[in-house]
Structure 1
Amino acid sequence: MNCRENKLNSSYFHRVNQENSEVPRDQSAQQHQTQLDSIFMVCICTTTTFTSVLFTILSVNIVTFVKNELKKIHKVLSPDYPECLESQIEDEEVLDNENEEQRRSSREGFLKITLNFLRKMNQEELDILLSSVCLMGLLNSTSQREGLERSMMNMRSDRLKTAFRKPNRQETTIRQEDIFKPTPGKDNPIRTVMTKGVAGIGKTVLTQKFTLDWAEEKANQDIKLTFPFTFRELNMLKEKKFSLVELVHHFFTETKEAGICTLEEFQVVFIFDGLDECRLPLDFHNTEILTDVTESTSVDVLLTNLIRGKLLPSARLWITTRPAAASQIPPECVDMVTEVRGFTDPQKEEYFSKRFCDGEQASRIISHIKTSRSLHIMCHIPVFCWITSTVLEDALKTREGGELPKTLTEMYIHFLVVQSKLKNVKYDGRTEIDPHWNPESRRMIESLGKLAFEQLQKGNLIFYESDLIDCGINIRVASVYSGVFTQIFKVERGLYPDKVFCFVHLSVQEFLAALHVHLTFVNSGVNLLLGNKSASWWCKLSRGKSELTFFYQSAVDKALQSPNGHLDLFIRFLLGLSLQTNQNLLRGLLKKAEGSLRTNRETVQYIKKKIEETSSAEKSINLFHCLNELNDRSLVEEIQQSLRSGSLSTHKLSPTQWSALVFILLSSEKDLDVFDLKTFSASEEALLRLLPLVKASKKAL
């Protein structure tokens, strides 16, 4: 018992003795013993009850402490950390009554636990970043700082060295037919493979080629059955129940006709394409365990048990996804991760050389793309190469030697114009010189833009009838849109009878979403990025800025707050649409041009400020792309000039200049085979900003 329990028991015995003092002394020994037993039982019950209450209170206090500390860590690591300082100070004031030393010790211990969990989760960047902010004292008051620094200095030094010490690795190219073969030097069989890649990079084509080669008996003949699924189709079955065998019968009826009632006796491969499009609640922690392939349950339970290896462990699985959605699958459930990187620089040139029969025309296009790093980088995506070739082919016909589009926003505006002209000629009997923004085209673009924005906010890349209805579009109208704007919006029919709609590429959806937000603001004054915020809220936050300036700056903030970067391209398009030259191309959609040099200058300065404040190297890089869309290259040119003159001193670079240097090196035409860290005498903060260079290089010294 602890001291408090002893006091409680002593108090109880004192009270019982007083009550029993009037009992005659000649009371029987048996009766006395019964009372003592009763007293003892009451004491035990009282102690047990107290202990239970004590631990309940203790658990509540611990959970509250952990939540508060995690909240503070999240604030410090968030992009808008400086704006969170005031609320953090308020939290500190609430805790002023606590013992200072006790509070410091508790936080120090909790931080160590947090860092340990981050390392177990392989979150190296967050681990290093959190270690860094601890050293800077951002999570502790000044009086706590020295103790924390002493306890973490060695750990921090070791972690930084480890992060930047990258072994010389030879990248291995894997052919799709060898996807399940063990890697050299490892005998362990590969059950589950995850293939990552950005939208339009060729993941689906890769799985289709695998299936086709197997079906034509060209490869993997040890596999007896291959079942290619898409999450688009599986989403349709969200409310239904199947066993694994029934699910196979449902999509592949020939298996039922062949009398296949069990799958254990075959070597089976399941392909699940498009994890990023999954709308099923995949819960790998709380889902019931299922081992029987003939037992019916919901599709999400089937999938989680199949991926975890509880259900049909002999099967092989191939899952494709965009990088942002890969974390839905626990790392321990994946044996190998591969990446589809798209076109190399020589392959980009090969694509355009084959796309244009005229060699001189092809050379001009290739040279033009190389002059714009944004375009050149995007051209590793095959779909973007197609969009670029479509636009530039039209531009070379109609501009007669004029300037070609250089930014992403210009490219996509021209793509929209080309498709609108094609619609007018093909379906409306108009000529190419007629105004391309007729009322019908405008109505279609506005509806598709609304759909693009609302579904982008939800993270949806494919749309079902319910999604269309939410945006005021019915299936018949959507079918007309997909039939007219065939190169923008398409309908897909898979094994499932219902129609599924999507944009031809995620970047098209992001562009139309940005166009919708911009058109809505310019034409009606409504800022869709504020959601349901009131006018008084806007006035408080805008702090005297013009509506237009605040519109663009709030958009930058919203993109920075995105945890997985799903608004990165969206914000680049939105800022690009602010330029007067781009708005001129949209005459007919815009009721009025809304832009000024002053607004652009203020937006540029705001982005530069955010680059300096942002600790995330990836977000800083996207902000530089935003500056490109605004035709501002001052930061990059400043560093480039220093590099050319040999006057660059890494000792004196500001955080913004470090970010500019990283952007330049990542955007250079030369591949980063070796990244020599010794070239840079950098602070720890600068080292964090150099992490993308380490990732991009094959070897770091």
Structure 2
Amino acid sequence: MAGEESTILLEALEGLTLEDFQEFKKKLPHTDIKGGWNIGRDELEKVTHPSSLISYMGDSYGEGAAMDIAISLFEEMNQRDLAEKILDEKVKEYKQKYTEHVAREFLQYKEANSCLGENLSVRDRYTNLTIARKSWDQHGDEPGDVSSDTVTTQTLFEPSKDGQVPPITVLVGASGMGKTMTIRKVMMEWVEGTLCTQFDYVFCIDCKELSFSKEVSMVDLISKCCPQQRMPAGRILGNPEKILFIFDSFDALGLPLAQPKDELSTDPTEAKPLETTLLSLLRRTVLPESSVLIATRPAALQSLGQCLEGKHYVEILGFSPAAREEYFHRYFGNDSKADVAFRFTRGNEVLYSLCVIPVMSWTVCTVLERELYERNQLLACSKTTTQMIMFYLSWLMKHRVSNAWQNLQQFLHKLCSLAADGIWKHKVLFEEKEIEDQGLNQPQLLSLFLNEKGLEKGTGHVNVYSFSHLHLQELFAAMFYVLEDQDGMVSDSRILAKDVNMLLESYHTSRMDLNVTVRLLFGLVNPKSVEYAGEGIGCRISLQPREDLLRWLQTRPRGTSHPREVMKIEDLDTSHLLFETNEKSFVQSVLGSFTGIALQDVKLTLYDQAALCFSIKQWAGLLSATLRSCSFHQQHHRQEPAKGLPRQSWRQEELHSPLHPLCQALGHPGSSLQSLRLQWCGLTEGDSGALGTLLATLPSLVHLELGDGALGDDGVRMLCAGLRQPGCQLRVLR
């Protein structure tokens, strides 16, 4: 034996009289010990010094058990001061080792995309979430709704407005909202002494690991938290007000939370069925002075509300706009890459809005990190909005509570029908009867995609449901039109008809609110999306609607008032729809019907530019491009060009020009562009290099208009350098 405990025991034995020392040795062989063997009397006769006796005890019983035996024998001998002193040291030693164990388990973690052996720091990655305190009859708000009292991990265990610190706190959040990460943050700050300092012990229990437990006591549950150490249970449980129990993934247990009170336990050492032991803690019949934090999905919220006496719970609503940007910087660790990735995402309303969900922010960052690694810029990003959302859904499927795969597929078909019906009817709230009529009343699956919300109706109370985000409802609505029907599915006259043409025509003529649904529909018929749906979600997507989508884009009214005029595309929407398909042959088939593009008064975000450049690169028949009063967001922060810029710096200035990606796309191999008009687009000196390169490398370009630009002297010189190149065939410059 070694360490402080053995030193204290040695001091205790050395302080005994010879008579007491002999009595201690005499009692030792009669000790009942599990997992070890007693020291024989003959061996004890040879032991004459306390240090030798401690060594024998350690070898025979193990260090932890030896200390427990010594404490027990001292109490029998009425040497209570010695027993108390050793016990104090044992508790101190246990707490130190337990704290070290928590630090190892919680301060670092692995993500799904981590390299082998790579651990991430909670301190470096954790980003503050919006967490709201709500009453039990108020839940299911849209992510980002901060109308309720907000709390943080620092104020989670502080008194609420009524001055009360609830003994039981329920932390609610849909899958991927950051419950487990928040718990890691709490555990980390407890170890560091910056949070929960009122607790001597914080025991975190992962309920997914308890699912198959049968009979357990509270002592058994605590022992699971630090399995390598013998726990001084009596001393720890003797101060229950100093203990915080945390239960993560509580909904995974699926336990009934209603039992007669006389069946509940009052003894923390008594082993009972798992549900009885947990309910005893929640109903405060065992360790009533302790505190409890329960992290759960919304599925278990209603039953918990009926079981607990508290008035409030707290709900994770996701990332605020500022937190989304902070998360990107924490993820990348490189300010330049983080800035590019965030501004690219910020320019995509659908993705940016979905990034309120922490795991969606992680998904987007993971995809964009790979894109930056492979291409060093995002304007040639190969991943569409649809594909990123499919990655997120695939993550949800991997983290679902175990269900039969067949049941899941049937559920998703019905869910898509509900989503589409809601989109057509401008409906985002669904009553309980609608959920039941659709056959969706499966709480564990339902809580993956829908939030439950309590509403007052007349004198009563009803539950309504909404998708965890509007854009997810729009994705499922789009999936409704392309999912293959399963064998054995019975047609229902109440279900919306899968008429893709009616959807497209309604969008074109009167229902602009269908924009996201239609865009995601185009993305779903991309072969990669079909593959993701099959492997990640298990849904078969039909490619049959592709022909309807192709025909619609080819034949919808074009931007022309006379048959002899150039067939122009006059909206950015077409580029976004084509970008979502992300398939060259499809894009080329559509663009073959057009020879020009004309955009006016458009603020082109990085995502808009990626979509536009993707289309132009596949557009061999593009003859004219006109942009009037358009502005370009930049991939890199723009700096004022230095006066008298040396010639060798022109190329660098060109690369930082927001016009560079467009010029690069317009000059793609096989380009037939003849006319380019950039009028009132705020051109500056930095854009001249990109234009000069285009002039020098695209002999088909014969007409260039640069209205209302501020090219400056250096800009004119760079433009002239392009005009002097042999490849320049320009005839008109205005």
TM-score, reference length from structure 1: 0.39
State the structure with more CA Rg.
2
Greater strand content: 2
Compare the two structures and name the one with the higher helix fraction: 1
Structure 2 length-normalised TM: 0.37
Task: With a CA cutoff of 8 Å and minimum separation of 6, indicate the structure with the bigger relative contact order.
Answer: 1
